[in-house]
Every structure is written in structure tokens, then in C-alpha cells.
Structure 1
Amino acid sequence: MKPQLHWFFVCSIVLLNSLQCDGIGFTFGFSAAAAAGAALYAGLNKLGCHFYECCDAKADWIRFNATALDLNFQRHLYGQHLVKDVVMRALKGHLSQDQPSKALVMSFHGWTGGGKNYVAKFVADSIYKLGTRSNYVHLFISTVHFPHEQQSDIYKLHLQDWIRGNVSHCERSLFIFDEIDKMPLGMIDAVKPFIDYHENIDGVDFRKSIFIFLSNTGGPEITRTMLKMWRNGVKREDITLKDMESLIERGAFNEQGGLHQSELIQHSLVDHYVPFLPLERRHIELCTEDDLKRRGHMPTKAMKQRVADEMTYFPPENNLFSTTGCKRVHQKVGYILANEVYDSLFD
């Protein structure tokens, strides 16, 4: 029990013990005590928000910081100009409304290592003071939380109860579903009632909540389109959302995975399909530079090239895109630095 709740009950008992026990006096005393208790609880709860995370709109625990999000995009996200634009616009539009028409739903698609998990974390950090450690940020990993396809009906019920319970506690809740392409078929449709155009369900308003889906589906379509445009001389930065969004939606709907034949897509409940483009060698070098700085090392051209050389690229005729994006950069940097330290000890 939180301290403020404990003191509320203690003070209420004291007030009730002081009541007059005869007729009108008792009624008046009880009403006064109830009102005083309610006021005391409200005051203590407000005071508690200074020390404990709470969902009070007047507290600083939940407040969208677009500047912080933009800085994270600039410093740590490479080669994803479409992501930066779509995610920023979507969040600004949704979080600026006191009564949005529905929950915000963004579906991130693309090859592994493109930055999908990074961006989901940046979103949480920009909205919640505690970031992904917030009680109002909920992460589901399909292979961990929904591993058995034969139990999908049970998972659906538990997931609905979890969403309902948490949104009733805080309307500004964030739900992140990772590896949605590995989710049991049809299970994601459990969230449909909560992201549809309903003012409330059993008295709970879900319209202020945010849902983010992370998936590798659509990656092949994105890559094929990029290769075609590259061969036609189109610059990466000139690719538009219009070039990608419809093919991602088709890919997500038709490819095997959690969104296959999904009601969410059939009923147009996904607000934004966000394409993560495959990363090139220059982006690997930027990720290497970022990782070295985080470790307190001065990035050098030789180190960046060395890490980039360690990666695998495709298609084989021009080695344009990294097969794993920046996902293995951290391990490669650590391996190379460890070898350098070891070599220096025995020189």
C-alpha cells in the first residue's frame, strides 16, 4: 500500500470515531467525515504525485516532449527520414487532442536492425518521464508472452483484461507489441475493440492510448521497391511515404504472421504504416560512430570502416544493403575493441 493511501485510512478512522451517534447529528457527522476524508485523500493523492508516478494531467510524469524526440532521431536514428516525419506528426496530432476520435495505432515494418525498437523506445522516453520503466508503458514480445499458438484464445482473454485494467487506471497508456509477425494467427484482433471508434467500453475511454506494432513483414516489398528506385536513379531521401505505405499494408495483410488477414487492416484501424528502409554501408558507419561515443571512445575512420567491413550486404551484385541493419554493430564494436586491448597487453 502506498504511504498516502495508508494515511488516508488512518485519518478516516479518526474522523469516524469523532462522530455524534444520535439521529441527525450522526448523519451530519458521517457526511462531514466522508467529505473531509475525500478531500484529504484528494490532497494526499496530489501530494503523492510529487514522489510517485501518477496519471494526473497536471503532474509532470506524462508530458510529450517533441524536442527530446527530435533530438533522439537526429543523434541515434540513421537513414529513416520517413520514420522521423510520420512518427512525429502522428504523435503531435494525437497528443494535442483532449478527445481524440480513437486510439493512435502505428505499425512499424521493415528488415531487422532498421531501428524499430529504437524508435518505440524514443516514443516512450518522449512521453513518459520514466520512459520504458513507466508503469504506463507495456511491452509484449510475441515469442515470450504468446509462444503457443494453441493457447491463442486464452492469450486473447488475458490481453484484453490487461489492456482494459491498465487503461482504466491511466488513459494515456502505451502498448508496444514486438515480433508481431510471430504472434499466433488472429490473436492481434483481440485489441480491435480498444482501437476502434468507441467513446468508451464499459465506462473506460481508450481513445487516448497508443498502440505500436513492430514487424518484419513488408521488408521484402520495401527492399524490392527501393532497389527498383535506386536503379532508376531515385535518391533515398526522395522516397515518399506514398511510395511505400500501400505496399506495406498489402504485405502485412497477405504475408504469414500476426497481421495476416487481420480485422485491424480490414477495418482500416491502423492509422500509420511506417516503413523502415534497409540500411546502407554509410548508415552502418554512423551507427558505429554512435556506439563508440556511447562507450567513451573517439570514433576513427579506420574503426568505422573496419566494423562496416565485418557486416554482410545484399544483393550480391552490388552489396547495397546490410542484411542485419545496425543490429550487430554493438557486438562488432565490442569484439574489435576487446581484441585491441588484448593485443596491446602482449605487444
Structure 2
Amino acid sequence: MAGGLVLLFLLLVGTGRCWELPAFHCNLYNSCECGFRPDLNALDCDLSRNVFGQHLAREQLVKALKVFVATDRPSKPLVLSFHGWSGTGKTFVSSLLVKHLYRDGNRSPYVHRFSPILHFPHAQNVNQYKEDLKQWIQGNLTACSRSMFLFEEMDKMHPGLIDVIAPFLGSSWVVFGSNYKKAIFVFVSNSGGEAINNVALNFWRGHKDREEIQLSDVVPAITKAVVADQEHGFWQSEIIEQNLIDVIVPFLPLRPNHVRYCVRSELEQMGLASEEDLVHSVTDSLVYFPEDERVFSSTGCKTVAFRINYYL
């Protein structure tokens, strides 16, 4: 056996294709981590310093990842579902996950992103998309069991399409040559954002601290909103019916003080001084809701960079 591997190596080198040996090794021995180098302390620090007003998201993510990473033989892949209003940090947090879980960060070939608008634009092609997506997931899991799959804008996904990957999210599917249960799936959606906002607003009106909001206060409302949305990718989905999502991660609407943190952070990244007049001008220029109370930012921190450039 050892002599055969040496011969294979020499043949690959001789053809200029020695880069294929690691993939062969991964499939044969199921021991390759594919650049999976989790640094959860750094992730927690990054979330604390650069993601504002999202105590629930931080707590849920770090806890779930610690348990998952510490398990040598997980019973199923880790499935996360991000929910919240636009601009609250869902996409940014997903990029931090990639940064702190994979050695090559966002350049890692084992991190795969899907956009319904880019990859699945035409409703009449759903059956073909299903077949393509199934083959893509299975092929990449065969190449690397530590793959991560990010599905953006699930609220714009064609209903029924995502069900094709439901078997990969459970505990009984078999992917030859790979322990696919080490994979991570992340779904990102604006759906449920209004329900989350209503919970946060009720807490504010009840003079309760934002940090008092618990997962149990928002998850039932998120689930109800997703199940009722006939245009959502999870509409009548087996993923929901079979309870294949491990952690629902809610992103709360941002208060003006959180927006100010975003402005200061953006100025720092631009190499500019954080002048308070500029910070307040940008913060005050955003739209807040409810209109008469101006409690939460309608766009979160999404337009902060543009408005800084406008005022500069």
C-alpha cells in the first residue's frame, strides 16, 4: 500500500499535477481538515469589538461553534439560520465566521456561497437548479468534509429548491469517502426581521434593557414569520418540518448609539479621525422608526460608508 502511494505521488509530480494528492488523501483516509483552523477566542473578540448591539447573535454563535468544533464525530452538520432587518450585521458576521474558521479565510476554496439572484434566477429552471445544487453539495463534501455552505437572501429563494439539500443536513445521509457531518451550513434571511423589531420595540417601550431580550422572546416569532411567508425559500420546507436547523440566530434592530459605533468604526478603517461633529451628522441623517419616536435605524449600518463619503 505504501509503495502504491509513493508511485502515485511520483506519477502526479511527473505530470505536473501533484496538487491532486491532498484531495486523494482526504478522500482515502477522511483525515483532511481542508484548512479548517477555528480560532473561536478571536471570533468572540471580533464579534465583541466590531458587531454592535447583537448580544444574542454573539452568544448563540460562539456557544454553538464551541460545542460543534469540540466534537470529533458530530451526529449531523451544524446548521445555522440568520434572521434580521437589513443592515444589522448578518453578512458581516458570516464573513467573520469564515475569517476565523478557515486558514485562508474568504479565499478558502472550501467555503461556498450561493445567491438566489445570481445562481438561481429563473423560476422555470428550478428542477435543473435542484439537480445542480445537489451535485455541487455532494461533490464538494466528497472533496472536503469540512466544507462551509452559505446561502444568502433565503427570503428570495424559490420555494422548494432548498429541500434538495435536506438529506445532507440530517444524520442518516451517506456521502461516500467523506464524514459530511463535519460540514457547516449557514442560511441568511431578512425574513422574521419585522417580528424581531416588534419584540425589541416592546422591550424599549416597557423600559426594559435591550440585553434582557432572550432567544425565547424572538425565536417563536421568527419561526411563525418564516412558515407564513409563501415566497420564502423555507416555505413548506422539509428543513423546517424535520427541525434540521440547529440554531436560529436573531439580529436585533440598531439604536442610534449602535449606529454611532458603526460610524466610528468605518472612519477608523478609512484612516480618518473620529470627529464627533461628523459622527453625529452621519448618525442623525439616517431614517429611524417608528417615525415619531426614532428608536431604531431603518437601514441599520448599511448606508454608513456612503453617508460618510457624502459628508466628507
Superposed pair shares fold, TM > 0.5? yes
Count of matched residue pairs: 303
Deviation of residue 61 (structure 1)? 2.4
Equivalent position amino acid for 1:228 in 2: N
2:260 corresponds in structure 1 to 285
The answer (yes or no) to whether the contact 2:32–2:144 under 8 Å persists in 1 is: no
Indicate the SS of the match to 1:175: strand
Deviation of residue 199 (structure 1)? 5.6
Question: Do residues 313 (structure 1) and 288 (structure 2) align?
Answer: yes
Indicate the SS of the match to 1:222: helix
Deviation of residue 202 (structure 1)? 4.5
Indicate the SS of the match to 1:283: helix
The answer (yes or no) to whether the contact 2:39–2:100 under 8 Å persists in 1 is: yes
Question: Do residues 274 (structure 1) and 274 (structure 2) align?
Answer: no
Corresponding residue to 1:156 among 102, 113, 130? 130
The answer (yes or no) to whether the contact 1:195–1:206 under 8 Å persists in 2 is: no
Q: What whole-Å deviation, never above 9, does each CA across 1:140-161 have from its counterpart, x for those lacking one?
A: 1111111111111111110110
Question: Do residues 190 (structure 1) and 160 (structure 2) align?
Answer: no
Query: Measured at CA, do residues 33 and 272 of structure 1 come closer, stay the same or move farther in structure 2, by a change above 3 Å?
Result: closer
Q: Alignment RMSD, CA only? A: 2.6
1:250 corresponds in structure 2 to 224
Runs of 4 or more off by more than 4 Å in structure 1?
38-44, 54-60
The answer (yes or no) to whether the contact 1:149–1:185 under 8 Å persists in 2 is: no
TM-score by length of 1: 0.81
1:234 corresponds in structure 2 to 208
d(CA) in 2 for partners of 1:233 and 1:335?
35
1:21 corresponds in structure 2 to none
Corresponding residue to 1:136 among 93, 100, 110? 110
| Unmatched segments (≥5 aa) in structure 2 | none
Query: Measured at CA, do residues 313 and 231 of structure 1 come closer, stay the same or move farther in structure 2, by a change above 3 Å?
Result: same
d(CA) in 2 for partners of 1:101 and 1:224?
36
1:73-222 residue pairs with structure 2 within 5 A? 73-198=47-172, 200-222=174-196
Deviation of residue 257 (structure 1)? 1.1
- Identity among equivalent pairs (%): 38
Query: Measured at CA, do residues 58 and 152 of structure 1 come closer, stay the same or move farther in structure 2, by a change above 3 Å?
Result: closer
Deviation of residue 179 (structure 1)? 0.6
The answer (yes or no) to whether the contact 2:34–2:110 under 8 Å persists in 1 is: no
TM-score by length of 2: 0.90
The answer (yes or no) to whether the contact 1:199–1:207 under 8 Å persists in 2 is: no
Which fold has the larger relative contact order, with Cα–Cα distance below 8 Å and residues 6 or more apart in sequence? 2
